Structure 1
Amino acid sequence: MLFIIYLVIAIATLLAYLLYRNTTYWRNRGIPQEPPHPFFGNLIGFRKTRTVHRILEDYYNKFRDTNHPFVGFHFLHRKCAFVLDMKLAKNVLIKDFSNFADRGQFHNVRDDPLTGNIFNLDGKRWKEMRQRLSPTFTSGKMKFMFPIVIKVSEEFVKVMFEEVPAKSEGSIIEIKDLMARFTTDVIGTCAFGIECNTLRTPESDFRKMGSKVFTDLRHGVLLTALTFSFPNLAAKLRMRMMPQDVHEFFMGLVNETIAYREKEKIKRNDFMEMLIEMKQRGSYTLESGEVVEGLNIGELAAQVFVFYLAGFETSSSTMSYCLYELAQHTDIQDKVREEINNVLEQHDGKITYESIKAMHYLDQVISETLRLYTIVPHIERKALHDYVVPGHPNLVIESGTQIIIPAAAYHRNEKFYPDPEKFDPERFSADEVAARDSVEFLAFGDGPRNCIGMRFGQMQTRVGMAQLIKNFKFSVCEKTDIPLTYNPESFVMGTIGGIYLRAERV
């Protein structure tokens, strides 16, 4: 009995020492840091009262004028270098990318296959996956998928016309829900080849399962914190992060889709078809002699899953926030509508791949929306080797340290964007963009590990916005929340409740 007591005391003492050493890591190196909470680190209020966006922006504003290239930060128990200096951010993302190629995110491809997607993968497997998927997102492949997006957008307009009667003062529309239904149908068709028809039947499992990924936890707070804080250990312990019902739904859907297509010899110009071709090709050898392994069913499912998630959530949120701002700035809305009509006149009145690319002011409006409402608040990387910060020979980011680049906070820095709370699409005119360093706008990341699906996301957002602005006028109403209230439980920027606007036919 006495031995057990001593053992418990010894373990408790060791844990206390490790916790102390971890939380004093940056202080012992002379790096500024707000004292971390023993459990939450510097994420006080996370999933309770504060969004990740607010936490990171407040932290950035506290230290940004201290002349330090980075400061210390604890993401729960994980020690991170929180980047303040734009030159250091550019080195991490681009110049010295080879030392920061990994994201350091949890993934367990054996037991939790959906986590083994291109966003989470690291090392050689990420490099191989990126090389294999990159041709899928070229302009040529986007043109192949474009008719699918147009077909869904036309149904979208029909649903809107039903919601907004002719010869009336318009209708109050909850646009967040509507935008999510549109992007779910687009991505469901392009990624899985399934006509979800969420526009007509909003309560689909497809949409419900996609939404749960951003808010629901598989485990309680303690085990989830362990997974975030020690991703490698969690993977070795064969822990899983994906909610079980989400895992079963998407794995089952992918298996059924592949089996059906292979049996019926169905070919489609969509993302699923390209992945099936990779799976069927199997392993192959490069000219260098390096063997590239083929995709197994779990890896295939993971890629189509993350393509669905990224396209569904980011694009629908961007469209919602864009309409929210245009409803408050009707002069900008009128200017966008005028451009859309002028461009379509030059393309026989049709929305084509080329006509969408020619809508430059619409693109500026979408970019300004992404600046003001950056959906994913930060970019993460991991140091693969010790890194001496250029210009600061005494500052070393040790191997294994996580890097946090607070993109959303950069986007609201008045040094880069004067009067940052103002919605001003002129910030993204050709001249303004040319004069700005690329890392000052990180809505899609930057460098070799930027968002691989950027072209697709831009395409479906432009098509959806062009269809809406061409046919409808949007304005605020008595149910419009100004300002919006954001959901602290969401890992991306999401609101509590809907976004209500008045819509009228043009």
Structure 2
Amino acid sequence: MSALIGIETLIITAIILLLYASWRLQQKQKYYRNVTSKLPTIGGIPFIGQVYHVIDVENLFHKVSAGFDTMKTLTGCVWLATTPYILTVDPEVIKHVTTSPELLNKARDLYTHFDDGAISGIIVSPAKKWKTNRKAISPFLAHNNITGLFPYFNENAKNLMNKLTRLAGQGEQDIFTSIKECGLQLSLFTIMGIKVEEGSEKHKVILQAFNGFLDHMAKTIVLSSLGLGFLSRTPHYKRTLKYLRELVRSLIKENLAQNVESEAINNFEENKHSLINLALKALRKEVFTETDVEIESFTMIAASYETSVGAAYTCLVMLAMHPEIQERVFQEIRSVFPDEITSVEYDDLKKLPYLDMFISEALRLVPPITYIGRQTVNDTHELCPGVILPKNTQIIIPIYELHRRKEIWGPDANRFNPENFSPENIEKRHPYSYMLFSKGPRNCIGFRYAEITLRIILIHAVRNLKFSTTSKYEDIVLIPKVTMTYKNEPQVSIEARAN
């Protein structure tokens, strides 16, 4: 009898919860009716919406593209679980979203994987805190400071080129690992002012920890879309996070305590702004707390490492897959550097327009950041004529899809063609058709750092090495994680060039 009463109680409780959930969903639908009645909307299954498409990450890009085709619009609304999201690939709407002073806050759900107390710095900070923190660290990325880092950028590029040279003549090899090793070393030095000897046990442990941490963040993205983000907080994840936070703390202490004897490092420390020096300066002025110093340092290390190594790998793979384009890039580089490269200087970068076109096209098709998002802060924001967005509406810009829409890039939008970035073709397109590092005041603060380090890496590598692969561009399967990743990373063959 008691068992029967227990079952009845469970059933009644389930019914009450279902009715309550239905009422909440109905209220939310009513709240967003002004949006969903005026924008093409894809609803899906009650309480689930279109969330099952998010789980299938290998086909996510295809599903997003199909969704825009179904809505027959460049701006529409999609329900995921019980939340509607505005998706847009309309360059004019994107311009409004990324430049509006009312849309400086990041979309809450798109960045839940940053809510770990370690990498939640200027990437996701609320607008008021973001403005203060960005101002404090922006001198690190100022033009004069970046040009002062060229010796270290060149040293890093030469180191990578030497590592790749040792793989020459050995058939197809994993080059991504070598890129990661050098990328981490550069990030640690330019951000923290600390050199960690490559190949040392400390370097290996740090590299493994960062890669593990980013893998866990990728899992969090998928699980959070289902409301199950807590499942990614495994004991292993917590240990990795703890290690990395303690690492950053130790690097800060090491930076403060070290007795600088190297003339090169001394020049860097005294005459240039390392990010850690700027962060500690902000701490002394009480602009930053000690936690801010740790978080902003960690954020910049992780962000510079993850995006830079991915972009370098993509460019080398694309060169290997397109030998005729690689040859043209090589000939242009050789015209600027007919003999052995001693150092690439800032003015040299202005002499390589085809290299710029190639890089832009490679990262158009494989952008490191696949989605960005903003969120409204009041109930009166007008997205486009007649569409008023209520408070906390999330607007998502799928960069991968934007970069491949045929309405913008023509019928061959998916073909690899650097001529898309010839001056005349750039002139024909809306300036917000291409947004590799976002745009507007809340763009990626480190975009110049990333652009310059990438170009210097490619100049040294292509001038000295030739790349090839049996993998085909058409067979690439891309998966959105924290940054863009490959389902199967193409292996690359390397051949040393004769000077």
Name the TM-score, length of structure 2 as normaliser.
Answer: 0.84
Question: What is the match of residue 98 of structure 2?
Answer: 93
- Residue 231 of structure 1 is matched in structure 2 by none
Residue of structure 2 equivalent to 1:162: 166
* Alpha-carbon shift at residue 315 of structure 1 (Å): 2.1
Partner of 1:14: 20
The answer to whether the Cα contact below 8 Å between 1:387 and 1:396 also exists between their aligned partners in 2 is: yes
Corresponding residue number in structure 2 for 1:287: none
Q: Deviations over 1:7-37 (max 9, x none)?
A: 6643442123224544676567423222234
**Distance in 1 separating the partners of 2:187 and 2:225:** 29
Moved more, 361-370 or 11-20: 11-20
The one-character-per-residue Cα deviations of 1:173-212 (angstroms, maximum 9, x if unpaired) are: 2233332223222213222334445578898222222223
In structure 2, relative to structure 1, the CA distance for the partners of 1:55 and 1:214 (3 Å cut) is: farther
Contact residue 344 and residue 355 of structure 1 kept, 8 A: no
**How far apart are the structure 1 equivalents of 2:362 and 2:139?**
28
Are positions 1:32 and 2:33 aligned together? no
Q: Which amino acid aligns with 2:425?
A: E
Alpha-carbon contact 2:478-2:487 (below 8 Å) kept: yes
What's the offset of the Cα at 1:405? 1.4
Q: Tell me the amino acid that sits aligned with residue 227 of structure 2.
A: L
* Paired residue secondary structure (2:122): coil
Matched, 1:56 2:49: no
Matched, 1:400 2:405: no
Aligned residues: 477
Alpha-carbon distance in structure 2 between the residues aligned to 1:145 and 1:118: 22
Distance in 1, matches of 2:209 and 2:399, equals: 28
Q: Alignment partner for residue 300 of structure 2, among 297, 300, 307?
A: 307
Deviation at 1:111, TM superposition (A): 9.0
**Distance (Å, rounded) in 2 between the aligned partners of 1:120 and 1:335:** 40
8 Å Cα contact 1:111/1:240 also seen in 2: no
Deviation at 1:331, TM superposition (A): 1.6
Question: Does 2:171 match 1:180?
Answer: no
The separation in 1 between residues aligned to 2:62 and 2:486, in whole angstroms, is 13
**C-alpha distance 423-482 of structure 1, shift in aligned 2 (>3 A):** closer
More deviation, 28-37/355-364: 28-37
Change (3 A) 1:23 1:331: same
Letter in structure 2 aligned against 1:275? I
Please list the CA deviations of residues 72-119 of structure 1 after superposition, one character each: whole Å capped at 9, or x if unmatched. Answer: 12344432111243222111112xx111010033789x9942143100
Letter in 1 for 2:16: A
Q: Is 1:216 matched with 2:187?
A: no
SS of the equivalent of 2:84 reads strand
Contact 1:71 1:84 in 2 (8 A): no
SS of 2:298's partner is: helix
Partner in structure 1 of residue 315 of structure 2: 322
The equivalent residue for 2:189 is 189
2:424 equivalent in structure 1: 431
- Residue aligned with 2:441, SS: helix
* Pair 295,203 (structure 1): closer, same or farther in 2 beyond 3 Å: closer
The share of aligned pairs that are identical, in percent, is: 20
User: Is 2:462 aligned against 1:469?
Assistant: yes
Determine which of 78, 81, 86 is the counterpart of 2:83.
Answer: 78
Aligned to 2:280: 279
Residue pairs, 1:312-391, within 5 angstroms: 312-345=305-338, 350-387=343-380, 389=382
Go from structure 1 to structure 2 and tell me whether the alpha carbon gap of 1:413 and 1:7 turns closer, same or farther (over 3 Å shift): closer
CA contact (8 A) 1:70 1:85 kept: yes
Letter in 1 for 2:487: I
Tell me, yes or no, if the aligned pair for 1:114 and 1:242 is still in contact at 8 Å: no
> Matched residues in 1 for 2:62 and 2:201: separation?
35
TM value normalised by structure 1: 0.83
d(CA) in 1 for partners of 2:202 and 2:493?
20
- 1:273–1:434: structure 2 CA closer, same or farther, 3 Å change rule? same
Alpha carbons 2:191, 2:276 under 8 Å: kept: no
Query: What is the Cα-based RMSD across aligned positions, in Å?
Result: 3.6
1:104 to 87, 107, 110: 107
Distance 1:357 1:185 in 2: 27
Distance (Å, rounded) in 2 between the aligned partners of 1:81 and 1:25: 14
How far, CA to CA, are the matches of 1:279 and 1:194 in structure 2?
A: 15
Corresponding residue for 1:130? 134
Shift of 1:388: 5.2
Contact 1:80 1:403 in 2 (8 A): yes
Cα pair distance change 1:129/1:56, threshold 3 Å: farther
Unaligned runs of 5+ in 2: none
Over 3 Å counting, the alpha-carbon distance change for 1:112 and 1:220 in structure 2 is closer
Quick one: which of 460, 472, 490 aligns to 1:499?
490
Structure 1: how far apart are the matches of 2:402 and 2:96?
16
Render the CA deviation track for 1:28-68: whole Å, top value 9, x for unaligned: 742322223456542324344535444433323332x34xx
| Paired amino acid for 1:258 | I
The one-letter amino acid paired with 1:159 is: K
Q: Specify which of 241, 244, 247 is matched with residue 241 of structure 2.
A: 247
Residue in structure 2 matching 1:258, options 252, 256, 260: 252
Q: What letter corresponds to residue 106 of structure 2 in structure 1?
A: R
1:130-177 CA distances to partner (integer Å, 9 max, x unpaired)?
Answer: 222222211111122221121122121222222115xxxx63222333
